[in-house]
Amino acid sequence: MANNRPKLAVFKFASCDGCQLSLLDCEDELLAVAGKVHIAHFPEASRESVRGPYDVTLVEGSITTPDDVERIQKIRRRSKMLVTIGACATSGGIQALRNFRDVKEFTSIVYAHPEYIRTLETSTAIADHIPVDFELRGCPVNKYQLIEVLNAMLWGRKPQIESGSVCVECKRRGTVCVMVAQGMACLGPVTHAGCGAICPAYNRGCYGCFGPQETANMDPLSEKLAGLGVLATNIARLYSTFNAGAEPFEKARRQVEATNN
């Protein structure tokens, strides 16, 4: 029987599986979603695999191997709308730390026979290789935002995803600023909203897992952090975690390191 529901596909590159798991974590919405779309390719959840073209494709993970470079092109050709989900897919993820070091050194640390391993020198975002229709940030993505993006793609409208900083979410939540009141290092002012400002609500500074917001003003934050007595090496570490490959964070890290040397 022909199935008239729009086809949804989920593909994975280098990642932890957490972002696609977010879909299965939508306990209240999963069956409703499954009723509206035909889950045509989602290996983590189903043996069934239907060939494209797909109406909406979700891509998790970053490009790290020569095969990945070819595979993402094929996926793009089979997808009407393609959305990248999570820090790996949108900025290269934590594995982008290799971009700043010699990858041969890494393989020899982890693997006894580095010659068995085929990998690229860099871990890069999907949008560095193909045109992407929407990038949803977060490490992991917010599952409610994921549902919103899916809905928007299915209805052919723009997703309603807030583009401000974590600071705005903190104010809305009524959390007292941990940087102002307690002198904690916090990346809230430069980090893309979406998590709901959970870290400050749990008495810790934001560590930037949603990546830089669109207009991240990095230098004043670096100065503020230095003023709070945070060592340059620690500021550099703060900028080089799950979105280390995102341009504003990478530039700010280099800046801090250059000033310090």
Partner 1 sequence: MKRRTIKVDELTRVEGEGAMHIEMRGDEVTDVKLTIYEPPRFFEGFMQGRDYSEAPDITARICGICPVAYQMSSVYAMEDAFGVEVDGVLRELRRLLYCGEWIESHVLHVYLLHLPDFLGFESAIHMAKDHGETVAKALRLKKAGNAIVSTLAGREIHPINVKVGGFYRAPTKQELGGLLEELEWSLGMAEEMVRFTAGLSFPDFEKDYEFVALRHPEEYPCCEGKLVSNRGLDIPISEFREHFVEIHEPHSTALHCKLKERGMYFVGPLARYNLNFDKLPENIQELALEIGLGKTCRNPFKGIIIRSVETLYAVQEALRIIKSYEPPAVASVPVEPRESVGHGCTEAPRGILYHRYELAEDGSIRHAQIVPPTAQNLPTIEDDLRQYVTQFMALPDSELKWQCEQAVRNYDPCISCSTHFLKLTIDRK
What is the binding site for partner 1 (CB under 8 A)? Answer: 12-19, 21-22, 24-25, 27-28, 30-31, 34, 39, 42-49, 64-65, 68, 93-95, 97-98, 101, 103, 105-107, 109-113, 116-117, 119, 139-140, 195, 198-199, 201-204, 207, 209, 234, 237, 241-242
Minimum Å gap between C-beta 165 and partner 1 is 17
What gap in Å lies between CA 208 and CA 192, rounded to an integer? 8
CB 92 within 8 A of CB 123: yes
CA nearest to 96, candidates 215, 253, 221, 226:
253
Minimum Å gap between C-beta 75 and partner 1 is 14
What gap in Å lies between CA 87 and CA 101, rounded to an integer? 20
Radius of gyration of the chain (CA): 20
- Strands in 134-136's sheet, in edge-to-edge order, are 38-41, 7-12, 54-60, 79-85, 134-136
CA atoms within 13 A on the CB side of 239: 27
- Return phi, psi of residue 47, to 5°: -75, -25
Query: Which secondary-structure segment (H or E) carries 85?
Result: strand 79-85
Q: Which is nearer to partner 1, 43 or 53 (CB)?
A: 43
| Residue in the structure block whose two tokens are 């073209």 | 53
164: CB partners within 8 A, 6+ apart: 193, 213
What gap in Å lies between CA 23 and CA 141, rounded to an integer? 10
